[in-house]
Amino acid sequence: MPNSPPLQKPLSVSVPRGPTRLGLSAKLLVLTVLFVMVAEVLIYLPSVANFRRNWLNDRLAAAQVAVLVLEGAPQEGLPEGSEARLLGGVGARAIAARVGGARRLLSLDSMPLEVARTVDMREMGWASAIREAVEVLATPPHDKPIRVIGQAMGEADFVELVIDEAPLRRAMLSFSVNILLLSLLISGLTAVAVYLALNWMIVGPIRRLAANVMEFEIEPENPRKIIEPSQRADEIGEAERALARMQMTLADELRTKKHLAELGLAVSKINHDLRNMLAAAQLMSDRLVDTRDAKIKRFAPRLIATLGRAIDFCQATLAYGRAAEATPVLRDVSLRQLVADQAELLGLPESKVVGFSNEVPADLIAPCDPDQMARVLLNLMRNSVQALTQAGADGGGQPMLVVKAQRGEREIALRVADNGPGVPPRARENLFQAFRGSVSPGGTGLGLAIAAELVRLHGGMIALEPSPMGAVFKVTLPAARQNGN
């Protein structure tokens, strides 16, 4: 396997920034002011229309007083100068009323006045009032006066007056300026209040989240860079807690991958020397074939095969630092013989401490890669032997390792069971993860991780089965070859 460089920290890349833009707080402030002003505009239009209506109604009310004076006046008319005073008090050029079918007129001009428009207050709706108010403000005042008609009191049928439009327009402009100043004041106070509230509740915590993410990006392996969630129960609190969980998971993964990279680098350094030593041992073991000792002659081929397999493992760098395993080459393999071979490698037939029982049927043939499946069995059986040797049998008695297997319609189930102390609860959650699922003290957890990966490559599954005593690992393999293998 090529050398695996140690995991490095991510580099911070500086990206040239464009012109300075508004931050989130400034955008929030501008939008708040804008929305308040839009709301004020929507309120202003009916307000200025109502102001114009009230202004004209006030003039009509003053004109009605003048009409009452006309109703009580003698037939020869009002005293000299009284008409001018009445019209001046109303602010009109002329006042007319129909009383008992007769039209009474107060006017400063001897001839009837020509008017620019007629405003009938008796039939004015809100839509027309707003439209006419906007027209008054948008167009300059006319030289000609306007005619205003309203409902009269007393015996008069109606009252009308002719007034200049310029005073009305000046009053509406003054009202508009006051509304504008008041709107600016309200929008400013509202914007500041909303800005402070949202900055405290939302913008500030979001800034804290963003700052923590940028700091964590620089040193993802530093546990002090993990955010400390607040006690908030809203969405921001949930985001903080989710970010903390993600950062802790990522930091653990980075530490694990760094460990794996360092392990791969260390193994690659010793791989060459170890392979040479194993090759030398294989050359020396070849001479054992010619010995006359029957026992040595019987074990020599297995020793040679084991050394050859070890050399192949070194050649492929049998270390978990390299994640890719070779695709299994499936062959019809006798599981009973495969189990027996691993038992002999572990010295179980001659062991006086751990008993062993191979209960795999002799006729059970499984399609698998013999080398990879031998590694799976060796890892599982070695773990059981270590547990039984260190802790003994659960409840006393003879420590025992039993391997069973049976064929189903679609799968072959193989079980490696022992009567030892079992798997601790703390190790079950990450049982098949490297460096996190170690069962024995000081272990790395690589054996089970490698076994799980090899079983998955065969299209099978590996799991820890519930059992009242000891540990039972179940390996499930397809009963038939797939994809023409």
pLDDT in tens for each of the 485 residues of the chain? 344 444 444 434 344 444 556 666 677 777 777 777 787 778 888 888 888 888 888 888 877 777 666 555 555 555 555 566 666 666 777 777 776 666 666 665 554 567 778 888 877 888 888 888 888 888 877 778 888 888 776 666 777 888 888 888 888 889 888 888 887 787 778 778 877 887 787 777 888 888 888 888 887 877 778 888 888 777 777 888 888 888 888 888 887 777 777 776 666 656 656 666 666 666 666 666 666 677 776 777 777 777 776 666 665 554 444 445 678 999 999 999 999 999 998 889 888 889 999 999 999 999 999 999 999 999 899 889 988 988 888 877 889 999 999 999 899 999 999 999 888 887 777 787 765 555 555 455 677 888 888 999 999 999 999 988 899 999 999 988 765 55
CA nearest neighbour of 157 among 103, 99, 72: 99
**Bridge partners of residue 360, in order along the sequence:** none
CA nearest neighbour of 84 among 73, 69, 94: 94
Q: For residue 45, give both structure tokens.
A: 């239009």
Q: For residue 113, give both structure tokens.
A: 């006045």
Distance CA 188, CA 37 (A): 10
Question: What does DSSP say about strands 146-151 and 156-163: parallel, antiparallel, or unpaired?
Answer: antiparallel
CA nearest neighbour of 251 among 204, 215, 275: 215
Angle at the Cα of 46 (from 45 to 50), degrees rounded to 5? 120
Q: For residue 402, give both structure tokens.
A: 């039993």
Distance CA 172, CA 165 (A): 11
One-letter amino acid at 382 equals R
- How far lies 278's CA from each of 297, 298, 303, in Å? 20, 21, 12
pLDDT at residue 381, rounded to an integer? 93
In the DSSP assignment, the letter for residue 468 is S
Phi, psi of 39 (to 5 degrees): -65, -40
Burial label for 186, CB within 10 Å (0-12, 13-18, 19+), is middle
**Bridge partners of residue 160, in order along the sequence:** 96, 149
Strand, helix or coil for residue 143: coil
465 CB neighbour count, 10 Å cutoff: 11
CA 262 to chain CA mean position, Å: 33
Under 8 Å between Cβ of 355 and 400: yes
Please list, in sequence order, all residues whose beta carbon lies within 8 angstroms of the beta carbon of residue 478, skipping any fewer than 6 positions away. 367, 410, 411, 412, 458, 459, 460
Under 8 Å between Cβ of 322 and 262: no
Under 8 Å between Cβ of 389 and 434: no
Under 8 Å between Cβ of 55 and 121: no
Q: Return the residue matching tokens 């003994």.
A: 392
187 CB neighbour count, 10 Å cutoff: 19
Please list, in sequence order, all residues whose beta carbon lies within 8 angstroms of the beta carbon of residue 398, skipping any fewer than 6 positions away. 355
Distance CA 462, CA 16 (A): 52
One-letter amino acid at 162 equals V
Under 8 Å between Cβ of 161 and 90: yes
pLDDT at residue 275, rounded to an integer? 63
Q: Return the residue matching tokens 């050649």.
A: 315
Under 8 Å between Cβ of 353 and 388: yes
Distance CA 95, CA 81 (A): 15
The string of DSSP letters for 71-121 reads HTS-TT-SPTTHHHHHHHHHT-SEEEEEETTEEEEEESSSSPPP-S-EEEG
As a three-state string, the secondary structure of 212-270 is HHHHHHHCCCCHHHCCCCCCCCCHHHHHHHHHHHHHHHHHHHHHHHHHHHHHHHHHHHH
Please list, in sequence order, all residues whose beta carbon lies within 8 angstroms of the beta carbon of residue 224, skipping any fewer than 6 positions away. none
**Bridge partners of residue 148, in order along the sequence:** 119, 161
**Bridge partners of residue 331, in order along the sequence:** 368
- How far lies 166's CA from each of 37, 132, 169, in Å? 28, 14, 5
Distance CA 440, CA 424 (A): 9
